[in-house]
Chain A
Amino acid sequence: QKEVEQNSGPLSVPEGAIASLNCTYSDRGSQSFFWYRQYSGKSPELIMSIYSNGDKEDGRFTAQLNKASQYVSLLIRDSQPSDSATYLCAVKTSYDKVIFGPGTSLSVIP
């Protein structure tokens, strides 16, 4: 089992819709979870950090964490073409390593 897995893409949504990106992790002791956005040819940029169970909202982005299910998600409301990118889930494990998932490619269709 891979340490951090993400839903396979590419994911296509129409403009204005909600995009849902999912991530599961294997280390039950993980405490910190991050979502990064990476445009093609560019470096990752941090979108959200989440540390506690529940939802965390920042503008059009909502991160959801369920430690019991070892699951973290990112919802993008009112998706825009500029949201088209690869989204990376990163997990800080109990052994102090940050593991990145393979990424999910999102395409928002105008």
Chain B
Amino acid sequence: DGGITQSPKYLFRKEGQNVTLSCEQNLNHDAMYWYRQDPGQGLRLIYYSQIVNDFQKGDIAEGYSVSREKKESFPLTVTSAQKNPTAFYLCASSPNEGGDFNQPQHFGDGTRLSIL
């Protein structure tokens, strides 16, 4: 089945530690996105990538880093510089095929990150 796989489902971070959240898709989508959701709030864009080896900062990129070395993979690193990382992290992708950037995004199941 095609889809977006995020791992792990739950993650705990110690003070001063960097952690990496995995996002893999087998939908052959060009664009991938990372969002953060805090309790009772909407989604805020962290980073996005429209094509391999290229990515752009979203609204809340500080304290996060990404890479896009392969079309199917878009890992997110939460660095120690992110002082309040506890949140629900969602990865999404969209096709953008034929230059059509109006296709909807589809989401993975998310990763819950907490501070130890």
Q: Which residue of A lies closest to B33 (CB)?
A: A98
Which residues of the other chain, A, contact B110 by a CB distance below 8 angstroms? 42-43
Given A51-B102, A92-B102, CB of A45 within 8 Å of CB of B42: no
B33, B107, B109 — most chain A CB neighbours (10 Å):
B107
Chain B contact residues (Cβ within 8 angstroms of A): what range?
A: 10 to 19
Q: How far is the CA of A96 from the CA of B102 in the complex (A)?
A: 9
Instruction: Pick 9 A–B contacts, CB within 8 A, sort by A.
Output: A32-B102, A42-B109, A43-B108, A43-B110, A46-B106, A51-B102, A88-B43, A98-B105, A103-B42
Q: Which residue of B lies closest to A49 (CB)?
A: B104
- Name the distance in Å between B24's Cβ and chain A's nearest Cβ: 15
Interface majority SS on B: helix, strand, loop or mixed?
A: loop
B90 at the interface (CB under 8 A from A): yes
List chain B positions with a Cβ less than 8 A from chain A: 33, 35, 41-43, 45, 90, 101-102, 104-110
- Candidates A34, A46, A51, A101; contact of B42 at CB < 8 Å: A101
Q: Which residue of B lies closest to A45 (CB)?
A: B107
- Name the distance in Å between B41's Cβ and chain A's nearest Cβ: 6
A43 touching B42 by the CB < 8 A rule? no
Encode A31-60 as 1/0 by CB contact (under 8 A) with B.
110100000001111100101000000000
- Candidates B33, B35, B104; contact of A34 at CB < 8 Å: B104
